[in-house]
Amino acid sequence: MAEQVAVLAGGCFWCTEAVFQQLKGVSDVTSGYAGDSKETANYERVCRGDTNHAESIQITYDPSQITYGELLRVFFTTHDPTTKDAQGPDHGHQYRSAIFYANEDQEKVAEAYIKQLEDAKTFAPKKIVTTLEPLTQFYPAEKYHQDFMTLNPDHPYIQHWAVPKVAKVKKAFPDEVKSPGAGAAATTKP
C-alpha cells in the first residue's frame, strides 16, 4: 500500500513533530504551515497572528502499519483539543487544534472520532473545539524548525513541553512506538 499523508495542528509544531516521529509506520514528519497562502507561510508572518495559518505537521505514513484513526488517537491524547487558539504557553490562532483533511475519507474518520470522544464525554465538561479544515496546501517551515527536538534536546521549551508529550505516547501507546535506533525521536536525559 502506498504511503499517505496526514496534516494536523496541535499547538507548537516542535512538540507535535516530536510526538509523531516516534511512531511505527511514520516515515517522515515535517513542520510547517497550513490554512492560508504561500505568501504568508513563514514563521515571522505566522507569529504576528494575522494569517489563517496554523503551525502544523505533515505526517507521511504507511497505512498498513498505522492507520489514520490511530494517528488521530495519538493526536487527541497529546494535546488539549478543548482550548481555543492555545496550547500550553502558546496563544493565538496559529496554535489552534485543527485537522486538515486531504480527502472525504479523512474528513469522515475525523468527524466520527470526534463524535466518539464527545459521546464518551472524554473531555467533559469541556467540549472539543478542534476544527476540521480542508487541506488546500501544506508549506514546510524554515529548516531550523525541522527535527527540532532531535537537534535541540536540551532546549528549555523542549524539556518543559515536548519531552512530557513524547513520554506520554511511549506510556499510552507502547506497541506503536519505534524501538530505539529505528528512527525514533531523540530521547533526552531524565
Domain boundaries, the chain: 4-176
Instruction: For the beta carbon of residue 105, count every other beta carbon within 10 angstroms.
Output: 11
pLDDT of residue 166: 97
Active site residue 12: yes
- Where would I find the H helices in the chain? 13-21, 43-48, 68-77, 104-119, 148-151, 156-157, 163-172
Identify the CATH class of 4-176.
alpha beta
Return the amino acid letter for 57.
Answer: I
Catalytic entry in 7, 12, 15, 177: 12
pLDDT of residue 184: 42
Tell whether pTM > 0.85. Answer: yes
d(CA 114, CA 129): 10
pLDDT of residue 180: 78
Mean pLDDT by 10 residues, the chain (190 residues): 95 97 98 97 96 98 97 98 96 98 98 98 97 98 98 97 97 93 43
Residues 133, 136, 141, 142: what is their CA dihedral angle, to the nearest 10 degrees?
-160
pLDDT of residue 117: 98
pLDDT digits (tens, 9 = 90+) for 5-37: 999 999 999 999 999 999 999 999 999 999 999
Query: In angstroms, how far is the first alpha carbon of the chain from the final one?
Result: 38
